[in-house]
Structure 1
Amino acid sequence: MSQTKGFDRTKKLIIGIIDVVLYHFSIIISFMIRYNMDIPRRNYLAYERARIYILIGFILLNILFGIYILYNKKIMDFIYLTIITQFLMGLVIMAMTFFGRWFAFPRTIILISFLVSTVILIAWRSIVFKMYEKIDGTKKVMVVGSEEACLAAVRNFESSKNNRHAVKSVVIDNFYDNISKHMDQVDIVYLADKIDESEKIEIYDLLISQNKKLFLNTSFENLVLVNPNIMSIEDESVIEASDFSISPEDDMIKRLIDVVASLAMLILASPIIVVTAILVKATSKGPVFYKQIRITKNQKEFGILKFRTMSATAEKDSGPVLAAANDARVTKIGKYLRALRIDELPQLFNVLTGDMSLVGPRPERPFFVEQFQEQNRYYYLRHNVRAGITGYAQVYGKYATDFNSKLNFDLVYIKKYSFILDVKIMLQTIKILFDKVSSEGVSDEKPEISMPDNILILK
Structure 2
Amino acid sequence: MPSKSSWNNTKRILIILVDVVLFNFSILIGFWIKFGMNIPERNYVSYEESAIYLSVFFIILNLLLGTYIFYNRIVGDIIFVTTIGQILMSLTIMMVSFAGRWFAFPRSVLLYSFISSIVLLSLWRIIVYLTYVRFSDEKKIAIVGDEKKVLEALGNFSSNKNQKHKVSYAITNHYAENVAKILADVDIVYLSGRIEESEKSNIYDMVIREGKKLFLTTSFENLIMLKPNMMNFEDESIIEVSDFSIPSEEGLLKRLFDILVSSLLLLVTSPIMLVTTILIKATSPGPVIYKQTRITLDQKEFSILKFRTMSATAEAKSGPVLSTTNDSRVTGIGKYLRALRIDELPQLLNVLKGDMSVVGPRPERPFFVNQFNQENPYYYLRHNVRAGITGYAQVYGKYASDYNSKLNFDLLYIKNYSILLDLKILLQTIKILFDKVSSQGVEEEESMKKNDLSIKSVCFLK
Report SS of the residue matched to 1:434.
helix
**2:54 corresponding residue in structure 1:** 54
Indicate the larger mover: 163-172 or 337-346.
163-172
Q: Residue type of the partner of 1:403?
A: Y
**Could you list the per-position Cα deviations for residues 425-445 of structure 1 after superposition, in whole angstroms to 9, with x for gaps in the alignment?**
00110011103359989xx99
Give the distance between the partners of 1:74 and 1:178, measured in 2 at CA.
Answer: 34
**2:394 corresponding residue in structure 1:** 394
Contact 1:228/1:239 (CA < 8 Å) preserved in 2? yes
**2:318 corresponding residue in structure 1:** 318
Indicate the larger mover: 40-49 or 289-298.
40-49
Deviation of the 1:216 alpha carbon: 0.6
2:191 matches 1:188: no
**2:109 corresponding residue in structure 1:** 109
Q: Residue type of the partner of 1:412?
A: L
The 3 A distance-change label for structure 1 pair 103 and 227 is closer
Deviation of the 1:194 alpha carbon: 2.0
Deviation of the 1:402 alpha carbon: 1.2
Give the distance between the partners of 1:151 and 1:105, measured in 2 at CA.
Answer: 54
Indicate the larger mover: 147-156 or 51-60.
147-156
Contact 1:50/1:97 (CA < 8 Å) preserved in 2? no
**2:84 corresponding residue in structure 1:** 84
**1:341 corresponding residue in structure 2:** 341
Return 5+ residue gaps in structure 2 as ranges: none
Give the distance between the partners of 1:193 and 1:71, measured in 2 at CA.
Answer: 24
**Normalising by the residue count of structure 2, what TM-score does the alignment of the two structures yield?**
0.93
Report SS of the residue matched to 2:141.
strand
Deviation of the 1:16 alpha carbon: 0.7
Q: Residue type of the partner of 2:245?
A: S
Give the distance between the partners of 2:438 and 2:287, measured in 1 at CA.
Answer: 26
Query: 1:60-459 to 2 correspondence within 5 Å?
Result: 60-98=60-98, 101-102=101-102, 104-159=104-159, 161-436=161-436, 452-459=455-462
- What is the Cα-based RMSD across aligned positions, in Å? 2.3
**2:27 corresponding residue in structure 1:** 27
**Normalising by the residue count of structure 1, what TM-score does the alignment of the two structures yield?**
0.94
**Could you list the per-position Cα deviations for residues 41-88 of structure 1 after superposition, in whole angstroms to 9, with x for gaps in the alignment?**
332111111111111111111111111122232222221111111111
Q: Residue type of the partner of 2:194?
A: K
Give the distance between the partners of 1:84 and 1:437, measured in 2 at CA.
Answer: 15
Deviation of the 1:2 alpha carbon: 6.5
Indicate the larger mover: 155-164 or 313-322.
155-164
Deviation of the 1:139 alpha carbon: 1.8
The 3 A distance-change label for structure 1 pair 121 and 171 is same
Indicate the larger mover: 323-332 or 156-165.
156-165
Give the distance between the partners of 2:80 and 2:406, measured in 1 at CA.
Answer: 25
The 3 A distance-change label for structure 1 pair 209 and 103 is closer
Q: Residue type of the partner of 2:335?
A: K
Report SS of the residue matched to 1:246.
coil
Deviating beyond 6 angstroms after TM superposition, the runs of 4 or more aligned structure 1 residues are 438-441, 447-451
Report SS of the residue matched to 1:435.
helix
Give the distance between the partners of 2:372 and 2:231, measured in 1 at CA.
Answer: 36
Paired residue total: 456
Give the distance between the partners of 1:38 and 1:159, measured in 2 at CA.
Answer: 51
Contact 2:150/2:170 (CA < 8 Å) preserved in 1? yes
Give the distance between the partners of 1:174 and 1:2, measured in 2 at CA.
Answer: 30
Contact 1:289/1:308 (CA < 8 Å) preserved in 2? yes
Contact 2:50/2:103 (CA < 8 Å) preserved in 1? no
Deviation of the 1:101 alpha carbon: 3.6
Q: Residue type of the partner of 1:42?
A: R
Give the distance between the partners of 2:32 and 2:437, measured in 1 at CA.
Answer: 42
Deviation of the 1:372 alpha carbon: 1.7
**Could you list the per-position Cα deviations for residues 139-195 of structure 1 after superposition, in whole angstroms to 9, with x for gaps in the alignment?**
211011122221222122224632332211111222222112111222111011222
Give the distance between the partners of 1:336 and 1:155, measured in 2 at CA.
Answer: 28
Indicate the larger mover: 334-343 or 28-37.
28-37
Return 5+ residue gaps in structure 1 as ranges: none
Contact 2:188/2:212 (CA < 8 Å) preserved in 1? yes
Contact 1:2/1:210 (CA < 8 Å) preserved in 2? no
Give the distance between the partners of 1:184 and 1:324, measured in 2 at CA.
Answer: 44
Report SS of the residue matched to 2:456.
coil
Give the distance between the partners of 1:98 and 1:106, measured in 2 at CA.
Answer: 9
Q: Residue type of the partner of 1:239?
A: I
The 3 A distance-change label for structure 1 pair 240 and 437 is farther
Q: Residue type of the partner of 2:375?
A: Q
Contact 1:218/1:408 (CA < 8 Å) preserved in 2? yes
Report SS of the residue matched to 2:193.
coil
Contact 2:6/2:137 (CA < 8 Å) preserved in 1? no
Sequence identity percentage: 59
